[in-house]
Structure 1
């Protein structure tokens, strides 16, 4: 918002300067009957106060016009100098160029993911997406927050390289506005996560995003159970309630702690984390299609385990039978360490 205000100030200063030239030329041509070139010359030397002198003595009406014209331009020139000084000495030109360059890069994104809101939930979603190699655009109103994060002043690592800071492609503005979502490339995006603090805002974002891109996958955050149905009706595909999940997690640490510790391994909350991965039938190597799970022998080759299979009709098979033959539309769900999953990618995924 601050950048937009500064740009508007620059546009206004340029418009006032142009208006001054037009008024000056029109006055000299009308009152003193100057040619256009002579009127432009007189206007410039009058505005700049260089004192070269008139082309011919001015009439009484002409002198009154010049007097008021000079007073008007004292204000215009002072305002123009003030705005230009701000842009030059406060680094506004550099900020505008960086903003323009970021906007141009975002316009080249396709199939990316938009994260609306960069609070605790939004940041965690952003980190996980970046760690998985996804292209992410953040929509956030707090410009200073995003500048501090990109500069590494918060000590948080967003590149996954152990170094705090890193570039975050950001659109600064209110995510509930269609124009801001369009600037983030919502029509070209594959998914959107709305993690704004207010449920009403998340409902509005889901509604707007669904209207702008009917194929978009929308994940929404909710604080209250009553908001879930509203978000689903607004177009969200899934609704996540962090407070409810957190409370359930703490209770289960008491009731079934080992199960929760295992889930922590999968979710990456533990040091020795495991990785869940999925691969569709179409992503399997051509020569492996038509083989049963027994014949694929994933565990012996890679160490990873097929823990589930989502069939084309939507049915989920947990620990699918070893004689089951994956078919078109099926999705294999695998569990293993990072090394095991990477080995599976090399051995089984279509290049």
Structure 2
């Protein structure tokens, strides 16, 4: 609001300044001066250069007119500059007051939750905590996400949650729970280590994309680990009770409910047919998962003869003609497509080739 007022003041001043210049040129032209002389006189008069009159000002009316031009031109110029300075000053003051008010609000908060990462999962978590009337502080290094949280009225701290200073500003010594929900497993492990060093009592809930990270998070001091891919896979495995798993995707009611549940976890389900030339034939499901760096889970395999294997073991082999039903993070879609559809390299022997 203040910035708008300052900008309006600048526009008014600029308009008045232009009107003064135009009126001055017209006035000197009426006095018999040329257009070039009139324009030059206006410039050196309003900006106070003082090179001297281009033509004699020897009548009282012309002197009075010049004096009015000087006063009006300088006043409007000062008005424009004043509005510009006001806009900058008010913005800085409001920013300083906002930071101070935010800092004071965090200092007065106890027994709160610290949300590390205000991405998709962090935003959903903050929304749920707000509905439950639970106090929380959002920590993120992305200015745009912090600005979004600030607009929603949340307490925020800008910085890397893996640094002690950032967590201290978030009030970790008074917090009850720390939830690190970044999509980066390494970052979540590092944040967990830092938080546990700063507080032995705080409850730490960490997000992990792969089962291998789960052990690291436990060793780092996390009390609870949430694996979105595993949760989604378990949900789908429980839902698969019909002869054909594909009906989960084709039946409108089941498909809508399934996709909605998975979307809330940041996951999606995809169908990947394995043709006879695929590079993954003969590999186990665990090997496929390792090549995709986690964040995915095979919830069903439909064999070429129609046999459905629900919730298959990790050592289950992949065969030609199989259809894999995979729950994965959105970011894994391209990686999974490449992994399941990659062709085996051709080999040549004495002019003949095989695949």
TM-score norm. by structure 1 comes to 0.44
Structure of greater Rg: 2
TM-score (norm 2): 0.43
